[in-house]
Homo-oligomer: A and B are copies of this chain.
């Protein structure tokens, strides 16, 4: 910037005004400055700008997800980014991999780069470490799961309700023994989905058999093993509810290996690519990740723009998508 000013013999202030367009500058002068900018290949330093600005705005927001590679978070991300881009805001993301330490590490890294706001799918149980940053003006919105020890806006799926609907769907098909495979109980969504499962059984007057519930599985392999063990036991389930997309994938593979894909019914929570091309099609309880991202981003920017008011808790509905696997009757198709 100094070079630009030097070349044209104008002040730094004038160059700044032309580049940012903050204050009117006489036509002819502005043009000379723009020419020099182009000539010298001058690129404004956004970090210096943020540092000096009165509002300290960085035009950057950070997203901390469990795993950016997961299709669900991917969709949330794209949705947030679309809205951010319209405002000229850059979106940066990171994966906590469900590790509380990594969540903090990433959050610190983002905050150290002076993001204007943060969208977090919390891995840790306690987000009170963000209280000071919020006081300092950082906007905060949580997605997928509520934060701990700090009150903030949050948008989630109807985990319990969606799972209830999925399990009820299996019950309506005549299933009485339904296996449930879920993530670690330390995860909010896993607990909610398990509660939904229990509620559906209770509503139908069915007993809750602990041997049909297996928590703490997450990756496809562990999920497949757990399903195989359940199916090998005495009085095995005739249907499975897989409470997470990675679990669904592992179980689908394993059922096929066991040749049981047409005999054991299956409904999964969260949708999968190509789920309708598999034989049988995979029935799922679909979430609305784009909607989640849109609501979160809208809320975040409202807070960044200074919206006061109570923290909101938005619960998005889920949708049951029957594709075949969830419609298999007990004992398999005729």
Inside 8 A of A278's CB, which chain B residues have their CB? 274, 277-279
Cα distance A274–B71 in the bound complex, in angstroms: 13
- What is the minimal beta-carbon distance from A105 to any residue of chain B, in angstroms? 9
Contact of A274 among B50, B68, B91, B273 (CB under 8 A): B273
- Tell me if A272 counts as interface (CB < 8 A to partner B): yes
Inside 8 A of A133's CB, which chain B residues have their CB? 43
Contact status A60-B113, CB under 8 Å:
yes
Inside 8 A of A68's CB, which chain B residues have their CB? 74, 77-78
How many chain A residues sit at the interface, stated as a range, is 35 or more
- Tell me if A156 counts as interface (CB < 8 A to partner B): no
Contact status A47-B114, CB under 8 Å:
yes
Contact of A277 among B51, B113, B114, B252 (CB under 8 A): B252
Question: Can you list, as one digit per residue, whether each of A59-80 has a CB less than 8 Å from chain B (1) or not (0)?
Answer: 0100000001100001101100
- Tell me if A48 counts as interface (CB < 8 A to partner B): yes
Cα distance A274–B41 in the bound complex, in angstroms: 47
CB-based nearest B residue for A109: B90
Residues of A within 8 A of B (CB): 41, 43-48, 50-51, 58, 60, 68-69, 74-75, 77-78, 81, 90-95, 108-109, 111-114, 132-133, 249, 252-253, 256, 272-275, 277-279
